[in-house]
């Protein structure tokens, strides 16, 4: 496999940066293309060099990068790869960012703040991207930041199938860890047979980053097995606080399901000690050994990414992958 698949006159090429090679390999395997051999390294002053080892002229290129730490380096590498593809005459370029960088900075909370998620979209466009593909954007409306088609994928089917096999569905409630994600939690509740819904009233002190306070549960979780759903877990503060307040409100058990495992310290410690029976995430981001803990389950996202890439390449339907979820 050389990273290329040909269909009639069209050629699908999968290329990747260096952030999460295991994910790219898994996507390439699912697609049957492999990953295009690429040379990439850092100069002494940390500038990045990239060159594709084979021709990409006329191809339908998908540039996969997983925006883990050091995030700014991997953003720059992906931009450089898009630029190289454009200058090498790729016919169409799709940025595949399973975890969209700076997604949480999607609006101004205070005067003189940036809207960094919009800036990312502009950078991808300026570099030469024709399309974007991402999984579970922090806010779905951020699709509008990019001037072009955006394929917004949902990890929910992957997570729901697994959670269904782990929870007693006769006594279950879906819980959003803050008011902002109640619509997503509602979709989860529908997928779990129309079960009760609750949310945690969470507050943040904007002068202290990464500190979340769960005040109380809105809704009845007494005696129920709670499925606590979020788009991402960073330091684990939101989830740990939510589990505590759910237990204090009489929840029988809590299983956590989130798409993106950012897991910045002290997430592993907080999550392993928070009282959740299990924490389920996907591998949109690499999960290094020091981020792992006993109750952590990591589900593969590559099959979903590969199916979506295939639909885009074949001019098929990405929506059809989600059975009305989106």
Binding residues for ATP: 45-47, 104-105
CA 303, distance to chain mean position in Å, is 14
> Which residues carry a binding-site annotation for Mg(2+)?
138, 178
Q: Which is nearer to ligand R5P, 230 or 278 (CB)?
A: 230
Select the residue interacting with ligand R5P from 228, 236, 280, 307 (CB under 6 A). Answer: 236
Least distance between ligand R5P and beta carbon 278 (Å)? 17
Select the residue interacting with ligand R5P from 66, 235, 253, 284 (CB under 6 A). Answer: 235
Stretch that binds ligand R5P, among 25-33, 58-66, 80-88, 234-242 (CB under 6 A): 234-242
Catalytic residue among 10, 86, 191, 202: 202
Q: In the Cβ-directed half-sphere of 109, how many Cα atoms lie within 13 Å? A: 7
Name the CA radius of gyration of the chain, rounded.
Answer: 20
Contact call for residues 272 and 293 (beta carbons, < 8 A): yes
Contact call for residues 80 and 16 (beta carbons, < 8 A): no
**E-strand stretches of 186-326:** 197-204, 212-218, 225-233, 253-261, 278-282, 296-299
Q: How many CB atoms lie within 10 A of CB 34?
A: 17
Least distance between ligand R5P and beta carbon 12 (Å)? 33
Residue 251 in the binding site for ligand R5P (CB under 6 A): no
Q: Give the span between the Cα atoms of 235 and 294, in whole angstroms.
A: 17
Q: Which is nearer to ligand R5P, 65 or 238 (CB)?
A: 238
Select the residue interacting with ligand R5P from 33, 66, 94, 238 (CB under 6 A). Answer: 238
Stretch that binds ligand R5P, among 29-37, 152-160, 163-171, 172-180 (CB under 6 A): 172-180
Could you check whether the bond before residue 266 is cis, i.e. omega within 30 degrees of 0?
Answer: yes
Least distance between ligand R5P and beta carbon 170 (Å)? 28
How many residues bind ligand R5P (CB under 6 A)? The answer is 15
Select the residue interacting with ligand R5P from 136, 151, 231, 278 (CB under 6 A). Answer: 231
Residue with tokens 């806010």: 139
Q: Which is nearer to ligand R5P, 77 or 136 (CB)?
A: 136
Least distance between ligand R5P and beta carbon 166 (Å)? 21
Least distance between ligand R5P and beta carbon 265 (Å)? 11
Residue with tokens 């089917």: 157
Active site (annotated) includes residue 202: yes
Question: If you count DSSP H runs as helices and E runs as strands, how many of each does the chain have, helices first?
Answer: 8, 15
- The b-or-e profile of 96-120 (16+ CB within 10 A means b, else e) is bbbbbbbbebbeeeeeeeeeebbeb
Enclosing H/E stretch for 150: strand 150-153
Select the residue interacting with ligand R5P from 26, 237, 299, 305 (CB under 6 A). Answer: 237
Residue 234 in the binding site for ligand R5P (CB under 6 A): yes
Q: Give me the active site residues, please.
A: 202
Residues that bind ligand R5P (CB under 6 A): 104, 177-178, 180, 210, 212, 230-238
């Amino acid at each position: 496999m050389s990273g290329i698949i040909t269909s009639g006159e069209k050629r699908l090429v999968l290329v990747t940066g260096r952030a999460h090679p295991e994910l790219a390999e898994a996507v390439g395997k699912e697609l049957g293309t492999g990953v295009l051999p690429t040379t990439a390294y850092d100069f002494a002053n940390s500038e990045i060099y990239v060159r594709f080892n084979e021709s990409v002229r006329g191809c339908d290129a998908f540039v996969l990068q997983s925006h883990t730490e050091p995030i700014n380096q991997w953003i720059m590498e992906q931009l450089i790869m898009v630029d190289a593809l454009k200058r090498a005459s790729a016919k169409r370029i799709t940025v595949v960012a399973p975890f969209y960088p700076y997604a949480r900075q999607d609006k101004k909370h205070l005067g003189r703040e940036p809207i960094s998620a919009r800036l990312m979209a502009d950078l991808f466009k300026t570099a030469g991207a024709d399309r974007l593909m991402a999984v579970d954007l922090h806010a779905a409306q951020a699709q509008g930041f990019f001037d072009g088609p955006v394929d917004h994928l949902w990890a929910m089917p992957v997570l729901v199938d697994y959670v269904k096999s782990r929870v007693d569905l006769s006594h279950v409630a879906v819980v959003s860890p803050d008011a902002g994600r109640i619509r997503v939690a509602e979709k989860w509740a529908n997928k779990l047979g129309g079960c009760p819904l609750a949310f945690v009233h969470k507050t943040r002190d904007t002068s202290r980053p990464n500190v979340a306070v769960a005040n109380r549960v809105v809704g009845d979780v007494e005696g129920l097995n709670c499925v606590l759903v979020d788009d991402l877990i960073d330091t684990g503060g939101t989830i740990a606080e939510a589990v505590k307040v759910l237990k204090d409100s009489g929840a029988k058990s809590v299983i956590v399901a989130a798409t993106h495992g950012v897991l910045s310290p002290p997430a592993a410690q907080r999550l392993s000690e928070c009282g959740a029976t299990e924490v389920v995430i996907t591998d949109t981001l690499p999960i290094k050994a020091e981020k792992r803990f006993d109750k952590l389950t990591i589900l593969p996202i590559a099959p979903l990414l590969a199916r979506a890439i295939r639909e885009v390449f074949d001019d098929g339907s990405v929506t059809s992958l989600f059975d009305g979820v989106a």
